[in-house]
Amino acid sequence: MANTGSAYDILFTPIKIGPKTLKNRFYQVPHCIGAGTNYPGFQMAHRGLKAEGGWGAINTEQCSIHPECDDSLRITARIWDEGDMRNLRPMVDHIHQHGALAGCELFYGGPHAPGLEPRTISRGPNQYNSDFATVPGCPGFTYNHMADEDEIDRLQLHYVNAALRARDTGYDIVDVYGAHAYGPMQWLNPYYNTRTDKYGGSFENRARFWIETLERIRKAVGNDVALVTRCSIDTLYGDAGVEVGEDGLKFIELASPYLDMWNVNIGDITEWGEDAGPSRFYRIGHQNEWIRHIKQATKKPVVAVGRYYDPEKMLEVINTGVVDIIGAARPSIADPFMPNKIKEGRFEDIRTCIGCNVCISRWEMGGVPFICTQNATAGEEYRRGWHPEKFEPAKSDKDVLVVGAGPAGSECARVLMERGYTVHLVDARDKIGGYVNDVATLPGLGEWGYHRDYREIQLNKLVKKNKQSQIALGQKRLTADDVLNYGAARVVIATGAHWSPIGLNHRTQKPIPGADASLPHVLTPEQVFEGKKPVGKRVMIINYDPYYMAPSLAEKFARAGHEVTIASVGGVGAYMEYTLEGPNTHRMLHELGVNILGETGCSRIEPGRVELFNIYGEGSKRQYKGSGQLPRKENDSQHWHECDTVILITSRRSNDSLFRELKARKSEWASNGIDNVFVIGDAEAPRIIADATFDGHRLAREIEDESPQHQKPFKREQKVWGVAYNPGENPELEWRL
């Protein structure tokens, strides 16, 4: 039912942005997906689907304007030549088919883009090395060259030519990317710009490069496209950078005459989690303390992000004049159909972004397509042909028993029911969600519970529609006999995984001597969640895991007044650098006084103490000493550390005994009417929630295929030797000014 005449109408009221009209107030800001121009099908299908889902404008990710700005190994778009234009055109056409506007974000990163593929050096206001980890884990690695006035002219021409190529590709919007410390922001920002000529010093001089660039682009493209600039109005490092109350608002005022719309945010690239704030630290609309000042300084429309997934909050920021248009990256990934669902009043069907930043993590680590924890179809639109809202009807009337309602099982059951299969979803817990129910109780991770909530709501709706299907929670654990006698034609085992109770770990692939979670002083994370075992004053976390469990449990116990030490073989929460949770996690652990012992393994656990060692304590010299002899000296760095309680976060193992027993009794399947038994998610191999969800989704889509336990092939986009690929073949000609 359309929501016309309702308070939400403002969200569907068109607005002019210069020569173009945005049909509603939903604007997918530029965001990376790992498609770039390398994977044009992926780019087209992912962005086009959002246009189908009701977004008024959809932008590329950052789109490099010239080989001098090359961001590989992270995959981003490029608009260097006709070949790139060809690869971007299907995206534009797909977006236009659904009446939305297509935008191209012109990107020049300076030394924040490492130039690894073309081996180029970028230009900037001064020479500096990037504070961003251009190569993951390596901030300070890449430098630029200080531009003289000839090179400033050349750099501005790169922007102009890229804008013309964007226009000729069919884009409606050209966005000059100056947020995240990229491109023209390095000229405005005194943190980088310490020049003393007419491009440095005073505010007007520092703003000159950006203003001239906008003027030259406007002169070249006229009113063929809407001209936008993405601007960080506060870099968040006080008067060493750009502050909203100083240069930020002054720049908005100065540059407004050259623009059709502002796309604003806060922060820089080194800590861009201050913009794409993870839910662990930031709530919806977290940038508004800064953004709310913008409209004092401009009459041009303003778009800003804030992980807006709640229609009430969207209304609030528009009706109170904070912004005119709702910008979104992550909410548009989690639910490409959010605008249409709001229009139809289907609020409970919105697949809410949980703010985990796993999407970002894939781009940050480089070289792979992105994924989404909530939306298993994200990134799979082209290569697997998956649509988030459409499902192929069931191909048989074979019913399915799904054992386990965690991320994989609940998603598998949901998609099977969407397809029309009769499904029985059985779990020993009282609630859908599996271990997400535990994870969501960790400090700051409450919003991760939206993953469970979405599936719970949808499954309950689907069960009402299909009376044959059932959700049976709080059941006794099914045995192999129970499953064989159940009467289902197909069985999906989604029984999850557990943390090793004996300290199995990747450095020895063996237990840690003395690690035994049946003892009172040793706990697994599951036992922490159960809360039945007492936890002593001095907590020692033995950590061999790179993600959130160790820092989360450290926070939990430090906040409860315990003295917490983490002995960690790798960086604590190392993967959280990719999810942008890293810097604030380390600040938080520091604030709470958590003692971190890095490069530290554990060789023995005894009541009241653990034996620790430096993982590099075996010496740097290697020598062949004969069979049975280590090539290095014995590690002699062991020392004892006193503690009351030990928490083992060493590795996970699949709960696969039910699956293995059923496989061992394969000969009994046919006589019990069972066609096949599958194992999915963590029960097959432990993985992050996003990948477990994907696995459940995949099996439900492919359950009628030849070998459903194993992925069916997907379309690959690659250059094939011997097949003509002419555009871009002559870089000397095509990369010229």
Name the residues that contact ligand SF4, by CB under 6 A.
Answer: 330, 333-334, 353-359, 372-374
Q: What are phi and psi of 456, to 5 degrees?
A: -60, -45
Secondary structure in 3-state letters for 473-486: CCCCCCCHHHHHHH
- Please check whether residue 700 is in contact with residue 417, taking contact to mean a CB–CB distance below 8 angstroms: no
CB closer to ligand SF4 out of 166 and 353: 353
Smallest separation (angstroms) from ligand SF4 to the CB of 450? 8
* Helices 689-702 + 407-419 axis angle, to 10: 30
Closest separation in Å from C-beta 355 to ligand SF4: 5
177: annotated active-site residue: no
Q: Three-class SS string for 217-245?
A: HHHHHCCCCEEEEEEECCCCCHHHCCCHH
**Under a CB-based contact definition with an 8 Å cutoff, are residues 366 and 114 in contact?**
no
Dmax (CA) for the chain in angstroms is 86
Instruction: Look at residues 680, 677, 681 and name the one whose alpha carbon lies nearest to residue 661.
Output: 677
- For residue 151, the surrounding DSSP H or E stretch is helix 149-169
- The residue whose two tokens read 């290569």 is 383
Q: Which of 182, 282, 382, 454 is catalytic?
A: 182
**Could you give the dihedral angle defined by the CA atoms of residues 625, 628, 633 and 637, in that order, rounded to the nearest 10 degrees?**
180
- Strands, E, within 359-430: which ranges? 400-403, 423-426
Rounded to a whole number of angstroms, the CA Rg of the chain reads 27
Beta carbon of residue 266, minimum distance to ligand SF4 (angstroms, whole number): 18
CB of residue 172 vs ligand SF4: minimum separation in angstroms?
25
Say whether 454 sits in a helix, a strand or coil.
helix
Identity of the residue, 163 or 689, whose beta carbon is nearer to ligand SF4 in the bound complex: 689
Q: Which of 371, 369, 368, 359 shows the shortest CA–CA distance to 42?
A: 369
**Where do the H-state alpha helices sit in 546-645?**
549-559, 582-591
Nearer to ligand SF4, 212 or 380 (CB): 380
Other beta carbons less than 10 A from residue 165's beta carbon? 22
Partners of 129 in the β-ladder: 143
Compare residues 87 and 373 and give the one whose CB is closer to ligand SF4: 373
Identify the CA nearest to 20 among candidates 88, 85, 102, 95. Answer: 102
Tokens of 684: 């097959």
337 closest CA partner among 371, 388, 288: 388
Give per-residue burial for 56-88: e unless 16+ CB within 10 Å, then b: bbbbbbbbbbbbbbbbbebbbbbbbbbbbbbbb
Question: What residues are annotated to the active site?
Answer: 182
